[in-house]
Structure 1
Protein backbone atom coordinates (compact mmCIF):
# COMPACT_ATOMS: atom_id res chain seq x y z
CA UNK A 1 0.00 0.00 0.00
CA UNK A 2 1.34 3.45 -0.94
CA UNK A 3 2.21 5.93 1.81
CA UNK A 4 -0.38 8.75 1.49
CA UNK A 5 2.21 11.31 2.57
CA UNK A 6 4.79 10.25 0.00
CA UNK A 7 5.13 12.58 -2.99
CA UNK A 8 3.55 11.36 -6.22
CA UNK A 9 5.87 10.67 -9.09
CA UNK A 10 5.68 13.25 -11.90
CA UNK A 11 2.84 12.47 -14.29
CA UNK A 12 1.01 10.25 -11.78
CA UNK A 13 -2.78 10.46 -12.02
CA UNK A 14 -3.94 12.22 -8.82
CA UNK A 15 -7.43 10.73 -9.23
CA UNK A 16 -6.15 7.16 -9.51
CA UNK A 17 -7.95 4.82 -7.16
CA UNK A 18 -6.24 3.61 -4.04
CA UNK A 19 -6.10 -0.03 -2.95
CA UNK A 20 -9.70 0.15 -1.69
CA UNK A 21 -11.06 1.38 -5.05
CA UNK A 22 -11.76 4.91 -3.79
CA UNK A 23 -9.96 7.95 -5.20
CA UNK A 24 -6.57 8.48 -3.60
CA UNK A 25 -7.38 12.08 -2.67
CA UNK A 26 -10.56 12.97 -0.79
CA UNK A 27 -11.50 15.82 -3.14
CA UNK A 28 -11.31 13.56 -6.21
CA UNK A 29 -14.41 11.74 -4.99
CA UNK A 30 -16.09 14.55 -3.03
CA UNK A 31 -19.39 15.38 -4.74
CA UNK A 32 -19.55 19.05 -3.76
CA UNK A 33 -15.99 19.69 -4.92
CA UNK A 34 -16.65 17.90 -8.20
CA UNK A 35 -19.87 19.88 -8.76
CA UNK A 36 -18.12 23.18 -8.10
CA UNK A 37 -15.08 22.28 -10.24
CA UNK A 38 -17.20 21.02 -13.12
CA UNK A 39 -19.35 24.15 -12.97
CA UNK A 40 -16.32 26.42 -12.99
CA UNK A 41 -14.68 24.62 -15.89
CA UNK A 42 -17.87 24.28 -17.94
CA UNK A 43 -18.89 27.92 -17.32
CA UNK A 44 -15.52 29.56 -18.00
CA UNK A 45 -15.83 29.77 -21.80
CA UNK A 46 -19.38 31.13 -21.66
CA UNK A 47 -18.43 33.63 -18.96
CA UNK A 48 -15.60 34.84 -21.22
CA UNK A 49 -18.13 35.34 -24.02
CA UNK A 50 -20.37 37.33 -21.67
CA UNK A 51 -17.42 39.47 -20.63
CA UNK A 52 -16.55 40.16 -24.27
CA UNK A 53 -20.12 41.43 -24.74
CA UNK A 54 -19.86 43.62 -21.63
CA UNK A 55 -22.37 41.54 -19.68
CA UNK A 56 -21.36 40.63 -16.12
CA UNK A 57 -22.30 37.11 -14.97
CA UNK A 58 -24.75 38.42 -12.31
CA UNK A 59 -26.60 40.40 -15.02
CA UNK A 60 -26.81 37.27 -17.20
CA UNK A 61 -28.18 35.27 -14.30
CA UNK A 62 -30.85 37.86 -13.49
CA UNK A 63 -31.96 38.17 -17.11
CA UNK A 64 -32.01 34.38 -17.57
CA UNK A 65 -34.09 33.87 -14.41
CA UNK A 66 -36.57 36.55 -15.49
CA UNK A 67 -36.99 35.06 -18.98
CA UNK A 68 -40.37 33.37 -19.34
CA UNK A 69 -41.85 34.86 -16.17
CA UNK A 70 -44.36 37.61 -15.49
CA UNK A 71 -41.95 38.88 -12.85
CA UNK A 72 -39.91 37.64 -9.91
CA UNK A 73 -39.28 39.17 -6.48
CA UNK A 74 -35.78 40.35 -5.60
CA UNK A 75 -35.66 37.67 -2.90
CA UNK A 76 -36.36 34.92 -5.42
CA UNK A 77 -33.85 36.45 -7.84
CA UNK A 78 -31.21 36.38 -5.10
CA UNK A 79 -31.88 32.72 -4.36
CA UNK A 80 -31.91 31.65 -8.01
CA UNK A 81 -28.93 33.81 -8.99
CA UNK A 82 -26.76 32.51 -6.13
CA UNK A 83 -26.21 36.01 -4.74
CA UNK A 84 -27.24 38.03 -1.72
CA UNK A 85 -30.27 40.30 -1.84
CA UNK A 86 -28.42 43.65 -1.51
CA UNK A 87 -26.19 42.75 -4.47
CA UNK A 88 -29.20 41.75 -6.57
CA UNK A 89 -31.04 44.95 -5.60
CA UNK A 90 -28.10 47.10 -6.78
CA UNK A 91 -27.81 45.14 -10.01
CA UNK A 92 -31.55 45.44 -10.65
CA UNK A 93 -31.22 49.22 -10.07
CA UNK A 94 -28.58 49.36 -12.81
CA UNK A 95 -30.64 47.16 -15.15
CA UNK A 96 -33.67 49.37 -14.59
CA UNK A 97 -31.60 52.49 -15.34
CA UNK A 98 -30.54 50.82 -18.64
CA UNK A 99 -34.16 50.07 -19.50
CA UNK A 100 -33.73 46.29 -19.36
CA UNK A 101 -36.09 45.62 -16.42
CA UNK A 102 -38.96 47.33 -14.61
CA UNK A 103 -40.28 46.96 -11.09
CA UNK A 104 -43.99 46.23 -10.75
CA UNK A 105 -45.78 46.60 -7.40
CA UNK A 106 -48.16 43.75 -6.55
CA UNK A 107 -51.70 45.18 -6.62
CA UNK A 108 -52.79 42.78 -3.86
CA UNK A 109 -49.83 43.47 -1.55
CA UNK A 110 -48.06 46.79 -2.10
CA UNK A 111 -45.06 45.50 -0.11
CA UNK A 112 -44.32 42.94 -2.83
CA UNK A 113 -42.43 44.15 -5.86
CA UNK A 114 -41.74 42.07 -8.94
CA UNK A 115 -38.91 42.59 -11.40
CA UNK A 116 -39.88 42.02 -15.03
CA UNK A 117 -38.01 42.19 -18.33
CA UNK A 118 -38.72 45.08 -20.69
CA UNK A 119 -38.79 44.52 -24.46
CA UNK A 120 -35.13 45.63 -24.59
CA UNK A 121 -34.32 43.15 -21.81
CA UNK A 122 -36.15 40.41 -23.72
CA UNK A 123 -34.09 41.12 -26.84
CA UNK A 124 -30.80 41.03 -24.94
CA UNK A 125 -31.59 37.88 -22.98
CA UNK A 126 -32.78 36.11 -26.14
CA UNK A 127 -29.38 36.78 -27.75
CA UNK A 128 -27.58 35.60 -24.61
CA UNK A 129 -29.74 32.47 -24.40
CA UNK A 130 -28.82 31.64 -28.00
CA UNK A 131 -25.13 31.85 -26.99
CA UNK A 132 -25.79 29.80 -23.84
CA UNK A 133 -27.59 27.10 -25.82
CA UNK A 134 -24.74 26.89 -28.33
CA UNK A 135 -22.26 26.56 -25.47
CA UNK A 136 -24.38 23.92 -23.80
CA UNK A 137 -24.73 22.01 -27.08
CA UNK A 138 -20.93 21.78 -27.31
CA UNK A 139 -20.76 20.43 -23.77
CA UNK A 140 -23.54 17.91 -24.46
CA UNK A 141 -21.80 16.69 -27.62
CA UNK A 142 -18.55 16.24 -25.70
CA UNK A 143 -20.29 14.31 -22.91
CA UNK A 144 -22.91 12.51 -24.96
CA UNK A 145 -26.65 13.13 -24.97
CA UNK A 146 -27.51 10.11 -22.82
CA UNK A 147 -25.02 10.95 -20.09
CA UNK A 148 -26.04 14.61 -20.20
CA UNK A 149 -29.68 13.69 -19.63
CA UNK A 150 -28.71 11.43 -16.73
CA UNK A 151 -26.62 14.24 -15.22
CA UNK A 152 -29.43 16.81 -15.57
CA UNK A 153 -31.91 14.39 -13.98
CA UNK A 154 -29.52 13.59 -11.14
CA UNK A 155 -28.82 17.27 -10.47
CA UNK A 156 -32.54 18.11 -10.47
CA UNK A 157 -33.16 15.30 -7.95
CA UNK A 158 -30.24 16.51 -5.83
CA UNK A 159 -31.63 20.05 -5.78
CA UNK A 160 -35.14 18.82 -4.94
CA UNK A 161 -33.88 16.54 -2.17
CA UNK A 162 -31.84 19.36 -0.64
CA UNK A 163 -35.12 21.10 0.15
CA UNK A 164 -34.57 24.13 -2.09
CA UNK A 165 -37.86 25.69 -3.16
CA UNK A 166 -36.22 27.96 -5.73
Structure 2
Protein backbone atom coordinates (compact mmCIF):
# COMPACT_ATOMS: atom_id res chain seq x y z
CA UNK A 1 0.00 0.00 0.00
CA UNK A 2 2.68 2.49 1.02
CA UNK A 3 4.78 1.36 -1.95
CA UNK A 4 1.83 2.11 -4.27
CA UNK A 5 1.56 5.54 -2.66
CA UNK A 6 5.27 6.09 -3.37
CA UNK A 7 4.86 5.04 -7.01
CA UNK A 8 1.89 7.39 -7.34
CA UNK A 9 3.88 10.30 -5.95
CA UNK A 10 6.86 9.54 -8.19
CA UNK A 11 4.59 9.50 -11.21
CA UNK A 12 3.09 12.84 -10.20
CA UNK A 13 -0.36 11.29 -9.90
CA UNK A 14 -2.70 11.51 -6.95
CA UNK A 15 -1.95 15.14 -6.07
CA UNK A 16 0.08 14.15 -2.98
CA UNK A 17 2.77 16.38 -1.59
CA UNK A 18 6.27 15.50 -2.71
CA UNK A 19 7.49 15.20 0.88
CA UNK A 20 4.83 12.62 1.75
CA UNK A 21 6.96 9.97 0.06
CA UNK A 22 10.43 11.53 0.31
CA UNK A 23 12.74 9.39 2.46
CA UNK A 24 14.93 12.16 3.88
CA UNK A 25 11.84 14.12 4.94
CA UNK A 26 10.17 11.07 6.48
CA UNK A 27 13.32 10.14 8.42
CA UNK A 28 13.75 13.71 9.67
CA UNK A 29 10.10 13.98 10.75
CA UNK A 30 10.15 10.60 12.48
CA UNK A 31 13.41 11.46 14.25
CA UNK A 32 12.16 14.86 15.37
CA UNK A 33 8.88 13.48 16.72
CA UNK A 34 10.39 10.48 18.49
CA UNK A 35 13.27 12.52 19.92
CA UNK A 36 10.97 15.30 21.16
CA UNK A 37 9.07 12.77 23.28
CA UNK A 38 12.23 11.53 24.97
CA UNK A 39 13.87 14.93 25.27
CA UNK A 40 11.21 15.86 27.83
CA UNK A 41 12.79 13.25 30.11
CA UNK A 42 16.29 14.52 29.31
CA UNK A 43 15.38 18.06 30.33
CA UNK A 44 13.63 16.79 33.46
CA UNK A 45 16.95 15.17 34.43
CA UNK A 46 18.63 18.58 34.17
CA UNK A 47 20.52 18.02 30.93
CA UNK A 48 20.34 19.80 27.60
CA UNK A 49 19.75 17.64 24.54
CA UNK A 50 23.35 18.20 23.44
CA UNK A 51 24.69 17.17 26.85
CA UNK A 52 22.56 14.01 26.69
CA UNK A 53 23.82 13.20 23.20
CA UNK A 54 27.43 13.71 24.28
CA UNK A 55 27.10 11.49 27.34
CA UNK A 56 25.07 8.84 25.49
CA UNK A 57 27.64 8.79 22.68
CA UNK A 58 30.48 8.35 25.17
CA UNK A 59 28.75 5.62 27.19
CA UNK A 60 30.41 2.33 26.26
CA UNK A 61 33.15 4.11 24.31
CA UNK A 62 36.84 4.37 25.13
CA UNK A 63 36.53 8.04 24.20
CA UNK A 64 36.01 10.09 21.07
CA UNK A 65 37.72 13.03 19.41
CA UNK A 66 35.80 16.30 19.33
CA UNK A 67 35.26 15.90 15.57
CA UNK A 68 33.79 12.41 15.87
CA UNK A 69 31.77 13.42 18.91
CA UNK A 70 30.31 16.37 16.98
CA UNK A 71 29.04 13.96 14.32
CA UNK A 72 27.68 11.51 16.91
CA UNK A 73 25.99 14.28 18.91
CA UNK A 74 24.62 15.94 15.75
CA UNK A 75 26.17 19.26 16.79
CA UNK A 76 28.51 21.72 15.10
CA UNK A 77 32.06 21.35 16.33
CA UNK A 78 32.48 24.91 17.73
CA UNK A 79 29.26 24.54 19.72
CA UNK A 80 30.28 21.11 20.94
CA UNK A 81 33.68 22.36 22.10
CA UNK A 82 31.98 24.89 24.38
CA UNK A 83 29.53 22.30 25.70
CA UNK A 84 32.34 19.81 26.40
CA UNK A 85 34.33 22.51 28.19
CA UNK A 86 31.34 23.21 30.45
CA UNK A 87 30.71 19.49 31.00
CA UNK A 88 34.36 19.00 31.92
CA UNK A 89 34.09 21.78 34.51
CA UNK A 90 31.06 19.94 35.95
CA UNK A 91 33.04 16.68 36.11
CA UNK A 92 30.85 14.83 33.59
CA UNK A 93 33.59 14.29 31.01
CA UNK A 94 37.36 14.59 30.84
CA UNK A 95 39.63 15.50 27.95
CA UNK A 96 43.00 13.95 27.25
CA UNK A 97 45.50 14.46 24.45
CA UNK A 98 45.73 12.07 21.52
CA UNK A 99 49.27 10.69 21.24
CA UNK A 100 49.24 10.46 17.45
CA UNK A 101 48.11 14.08 17.01
CA UNK A 102 48.76 16.60 19.76
CA UNK A 103 46.24 19.00 18.21
CA UNK A 104 43.40 16.59 18.96
CA UNK A 105 41.81 15.76 22.27
CA UNK A 106 39.87 12.67 23.25
CA UNK A 107 36.75 13.12 25.37
CA UNK A 108 35.79 10.39 27.84
CA UNK A 109 32.81 10.04 30.16
CA UNK A 110 33.57 10.13 33.89
CA UNK A 111 32.00 8.03 36.61
CA UNK A 112 29.88 11.06 37.55
CA UNK A 113 28.67 11.39 33.94
CA UNK A 114 27.99 7.66 33.72
CA UNK A 115 26.00 7.72 36.96
CA UNK A 116 24.01 10.73 35.76
CA UNK A 117 22.83 9.07 32.56
CA UNK A 118 22.40 5.49 33.77
CA UNK A 119 18.71 6.03 34.45
CA UNK A 120 18.26 8.01 31.24
CA UNK A 121 19.78 5.21 29.17
CA UNK A 122 17.24 2.81 30.66
CA UNK A 123 14.43 5.29 29.95
CA UNK A 124 15.71 5.70 26.38
CA UNK A 125 15.58 1.94 25.84
CA UNK A 126 12.04 1.79 27.25
CA UNK A 127 11.02 4.67 24.98
CA UNK A 128 12.55 2.91 21.98
CA UNK A 129 10.71 -0.29 22.88
CA UNK A 130 7.40 1.61 23.03
CA UNK A 131 8.08 3.35 19.70
CA UNK A 132 8.90 0.06 17.98
CA UNK A 133 6.13 -2.00 19.62
CA UNK A 134 3.62 -1.54 16.75
CA UNK A 135 6.07 -3.24 14.37
CA UNK A 136 6.67 -6.41 16.37
CA UNK A 137 10.15 -7.69 17.23
CA UNK A 138 11.13 -8.98 13.79
CA UNK A 139 10.13 -5.87 11.83
CA UNK A 140 11.59 -3.59 14.53
CA UNK A 141 14.94 -5.39 14.26
CA UNK A 142 14.76 -5.13 10.47
CA UNK A 143 14.04 -1.39 10.68
CA UNK A 144 17.08 -0.82 12.90
CA UNK A 145 19.22 -2.95 10.60
CA UNK A 146 18.09 -0.99 7.53
CA UNK A 147 18.81 2.33 9.25
CA UNK A 148 22.28 1.10 10.19
CA UNK A 149 22.91 0.20 6.53
CA UNK A 150 21.75 3.66 5.43
CA UNK A 151 24.11 5.28 7.92
CA UNK A 152 27.01 3.10 6.76
CA UNK A 153 26.35 3.89 3.11
CA UNK A 154 26.07 7.65 3.66
CA UNK A 155 29.07 9.14 5.48
CA UNK A 156 28.33 12.35 7.42
CA UNK A 157 29.45 15.42 5.47
CA UNK A 158 31.71 16.55 8.33
CA UNK A 159 33.60 13.24 8.27
CA UNK A 160 33.82 13.14 4.47
CA UNK A 161 35.23 16.68 4.40
CA UNK A 162 37.78 15.88 7.12
CA UNK A 163 38.88 12.70 5.32
CA UNK A 164 39.32 14.57 2.02
CA UNK A 165 41.57 17.10 3.75
CA UNK A 166 43.82 14.37 5.15
CA UNK A 167 45.18 13.22 1.74
TM-score between both structures, scaled by the size of structure 2: 0.82
Q: What does 1:40-79 correspond to in 2, within 5 Å?
A: 40-79=32-71
Q: What does 1:138-157 correspond to in 2, within 5 Å?
A: 138-157=130-149
CA distance in 2, matches of 1:108, 1:17: 52
The CA RMSD measured in Å over matched residues stands at 2.1
Q: Cα–Cα, structure 1 residues 82 and 46, in superposed 2: closer, same or farther, change >3 Å?
A: same
CA distance in 1, matches of 2:128, 2:116: 18
- Unaligned runs of at least 5 residues, structure 2: 161-167
- Unaligned runs of at least 5 residues, structure 1: 1-15
Task: List 4+ stretches of structure 1 deviating above 3 A.
Answer: 20-23, 163-166
CA distance in 1, matches of 2:105, 2:116: 23
Aligned with 1:110: secondary structure? strand
Aligned with 2:108: secondary structure? strand
CA distance in 2, matches of 1:85, 1:21: 41
| Residue from 100, 103, 118 that aligns with 1:111 | 103
TM-score between both structures, scaled by the size of structure 1: 0.82
Aligned with 1:44: secondary structure? helix
What is aligned with 1:122?
114
Displacement of 1:40: 1.1
Displacement of 1:142: 2.6
Higher radius of gyration, 1 or 2: 1
- Within the alignment, does 1:135 sit opposite 2:127 as a pair? yes
Displacement of 1:109: 3.4
